[in-house]
Amino acid sequence: MKQFTPILLYLLLGASTGFAQEVFQLAPPLVQYNSVFFKEKTTVFMEFAQTGCQIHVTLNGKEPTANDPVYTRALEIKKHQTTVKAKVFGIGFLPSETVEVTFYQRGLDILAINTSRPDKRYPGDGPLTLFDGKGGIPRSDSKTWMGFQQDTVTVEITLKKPKKVQQVLLEVLHNAGSWIFLPQKVDIFCQEKGSSQLVQVGTATFPALPKDAPALCHALFIKPEKPVKTDRILVKVYPLTSIPAWHPGKGTRAWLFVDEIKLY
Amino acid sequence: MQRRNFLRNSALGLAGAMYVPQILAKTATILGHNQKRYRINTRWSQADVMRNPVNDCHEMVQDSKGRILLLTNETRNNVLIYDKNGKLLETWGTEYPGAHGLTLFDENGTDVLFICDNTRHQVIKTTIEGKVLLVLDYPKETGMYDKAAEYVPTETAIAPNGDIYVADGYGKDFIIQYDAKGRYIRHFGGKGEGDAYLQNAHGIALDLRNPLQPSLMITSRVQNAFKRFDLAGKYLETISLPGAWVCRPVIRGEYLYAAVLQSNSRQWTQSGFVTILDKNNRVVSNLAGSTPTYTNTLPDEMYQTIKAFQYPHDVCVDDEENLYVAQWNSGKTFPYKLEPVV
């Protein structure tokens, strides 16, 4: 019965005002954390300072509803690949879009990463940028990002010692408003023990996201066709060469923003 | 039931506002906090979009006849003149492709306008009817500029003595001071990190709220702040507004109003709102933004909470305390009107 009270209120008020008004959508909540990559555990803070509104949260990957738990205090994340989804609900407004953040453990120990030269405006934060454990901040001005606008971006990863590698994680940004899109393709090569040759061991393609896709970080997983044991991996990333037709930059080259690479 | 409407209206680019069946939708949304709360009307403009289109709606002012002037970079009609009810009275201007800043000055009882044009790299003074009175080219006198393209003026402020202050907000972030005739006096500010420097000096206004100390309130938008300087260009203080990409300060009565282009936490995703500061430059209200709170003397991070605006670019406050909000890059939407809730 409680659910019906607001509607009744609308009807009563509606009779007295006489002109139609829009119903606005709520903005997503402010979600804060140091990084989506963690060693043992990490903490997520949220806020939404709007009277009468509440943040509802899920940790099981499902879309939050008004029946899911309300955010009341910081969340502690301990499990690899935990997805936090948060959405704001409030009477008189359409619910917000969902904020989605997935947290990852740090994976294999990386000794060094060498990359193609990033654009001078988006150099990241020094040579450790792609394996400093800092990433997943969706603001494009965060120093965690290296920005590229070129045909191919190569990333050469050296491990401390040969390890079995089952997956490569590439954390990238999508923000159409800033002309930043997912790459169209990623190839991985590795140098197996006793060989001096780099051999292609995997590839993955990524379709452009739809027009209304929110500005979010995405972890792209690329799997070798079979697990490899190696201490040297080369990742070739192909930024989107032609921005989709719905965008003001249609047909031109998109930006690629990468903030972290992990191996599992 | 709303899913289909949502999709259809998004396709039309309707300001993030969605229509729902009238029977559900008749309660007016109230925006803001404390003594500064408003009812929003997104359909204030009665202009015919086919005859009088707009592009980016950059700035608005009210003239001495009570009319509301809008400056847009649509060269079919750069200036649209409305009455307070949204009826379009007249238009003029076809030669301002980069129309950005609009300032009105009472020059001995006569309204004059100052237009900053980003594309022409010029400031143009006109009568209220659009007749050109003075053109200021790029300020080579400063010694800081080699060519016009380096100078992208965004705003002017006019001192009571007629001195013209130009903010080069998309160029080198200098403030250039001229006398009323357009003769260079000095420059200050400029791009940089220290207190007396600016980053995206997007707006400037005379602040006469303290009659003993008239000053200039200048936007440093990327720093999410206003900076106060005296009329000779000496830096006085910074008013930090964490999270808020403030456009120009608009001072009326004891209050300072500013469109916030976007929330720092959600950049380039139509996350704007409007902020209002009291006479002590403390945030008292955010329209479509977070409830203002302070930790010690600094505001807590501010952000959009209601998608009522996309990229608000200016606020005009009329003689009845109504607000008009013009927006940049927001689907060529006409301005909104907000009426105070008492």
* Domains of chain A by residue range: 2-104, 107-263
pLDDT at B335: 98
Per-residue pLDDT for B17 more than 80? no
Q: Chain B: residue nearest A26 by CA?
A: B306
Question: How many domains does chain B contain in total?
Answer: 1
Q: Look-up: residue for tokens 């007295």?
A: A16
Q: Are B194 and B225 in contact (CB under 8 A)?
A: no
Q: Which CATH class is domain A107-263?
A: mainly beta
The minimal CB distance from B305 to the residues A21, A50, A214 is found for: A50
Read off the tokens for B302: 């501010």
Residue B148: burial class (beta carbons within 10 Å; 0-12, 13-18, 19+): middle
Query: What pLDDT is attached to residue A126?
Result: 83
**Who contacts A170 (Cβ-Cβ below 8 Å, separation ≥6)?**
A183, A186, A219, A220, A222, A235, A237, A258, A261
B300: nearest CA in chain A?
A: A49
Spatial distance between the Cα atoms of B238 and B91, rounded to a whole number of angstroms: 38
Q: Could you report the per-residue pLDDT of A203-238, keeping only the tens digit for each?
A: 999 998 999 898 889 999 999 998 899 999 999 999
Q: Give A38's strand partners.
A: A105
pLDDT at residue A203, as a whole number: 97
Residue B93 gets the label, from left (phi > 0), alpha (psi -120 to 50) or beta, of: left
B191 closest CA partner among B224, B218, B168: B168
| pTM assigned to the model | 0.86
At A227, give phi and psi (nearest 5°). -55, 140
CB atoms closer than 10 angstroms to residue B190: 16
Q: What pLDDT, in 10s, does the model give residues A88-119? A: 999 999 999 999 999 999 999 999 999 999 99
DSSP assignment, residue A180? B
CA distance B278 to B250: 12
Computed over every residue of chain B, the mean pLDDT equals 93
- pLDDT of B24: 46
**Which of A25, A30, A50 minimises the CB distance to B265?**
A30
Cβ-count burial of A59 within 10 angstroms (0-12 exposed, 13-18 middle, 19+ buried)? middle
Q: Supply B339's token pair.
A: 């009426």
- DSSP for B131-168? -EEEEE---GGGS--SSGGG----EEEE-TT--EEEE-
With cut-offs at 50, 70 and 90, classify the pLDDT of residue B336: very high
pLDDT in tens, B66-106: 999 999 999 999 999 999 999 999 999 999 999 999 999 99
Is 60 exceeded by the pLDDT of residue B1? Answer: no
Tell me how far apart the 2 most distant CA atoms of chain A are, in Å: 83
pLDDT at A16 over 60: no
Strands (E), B49-109: 57-62, 68-72, 79-82, 88-92, 99-107
d(C-alpha B164, C-alpha B83), whole Å: 28
Average pLDDT, chain A: 90
Q: Is the dihedral of CA A148, A183, A130, A179 positive or negative?
A: positive
Judge: B26–A14 Cβ closer than 8 Å, yes or no. Answer: yes
Chain A to chain B Cβ contacts (< 8 Å):
115
ipTM of the complex: 0.88
* Cβ atoms B41, B324 nearer than 8 A: no
What is the phi/psi pair of residue B8, to 5°? -65, -45
The CATH number linked to B313 is 2.120.10.30
Which residues of B are less than 8 Å from A30 in CB distance?
A: 265, 290, 301, 303
* Residue B319 identity: D
Residue B189, phi then psi, degrees to nearest 5: 75, -130
Determine contact, residues A196/A252, Cβ cutoff 8 Å.
no
pLDDT at position A194 is 74
Interface test with A, best of B307, B309, B310, B325 (most A CBs within 10 A): B307
| Contact of A29 with A39, CB cutoff 8 Å | no
* Residues in chain B whose Cβ is within 8 Å of chain A: 2, 6, 10, 16-20, 22-29, 40, 42, 263-271, 288, 290-291, 293, 300-301, 303-308
Q: Which residues contact A241 (CB under 8 A, 6 or more apart)?
A: A151, A184, A253, A254
Instruction: Enter the DSSP assignment of B10.
Output: H
> Within 13 Å and on the Cβ side, how many CA atoms surround B194?
6
Which pLDDT score, from 0 to 100, does residue B313 have? 98
Residue B12 has pLDDT above 60, yes or no: no
Domain that holds residue B320: 2-340
Higher pLDDT, B202 or A22: B202
Instruction: Kindly state the DSSP code that residue B3 receives in the 8-state scheme.
Output: H
Q: Is A112 on the interface with B (CB under 8 A)?
A: no
Domain A2-104 sits in CATH at: 2.60.40
Give pLDDT tens digits for A157-198.
999 999 999 999 999 999 999 999 999 999 999 987 777 889
Query: Which residues in chain A touch residue B224, judged by CB atoms under 8 angstroms apart?
Result: none
The answer to whether B248 and B242 are in contact (CB under 8 A) is: no
pLDDT at res. B27: 57
- Cα-based distances in Å from B115 to A57, B70, B134, B135, B282: 48, 11, 11, 10, 30
Most A CBs within 10 Å, among B4, B266, B286, B330, to test the A interface:
B266
Instruction: Tell me the one-letter amino acid at A51.
Output: T
Report CB contact under 8 Å: A30, B303. Answer: yes
B169-193 residue pLDDT tens? 999 999 999 999 999 999 999 999 8
Closest Cβ–Cβ partner in A15, A30, A215 for B269 = A215
**Can you tell me whether residue B8 is helix, strand or coil?**
helix
Statement: residue A18 has pLDDT above 50: no
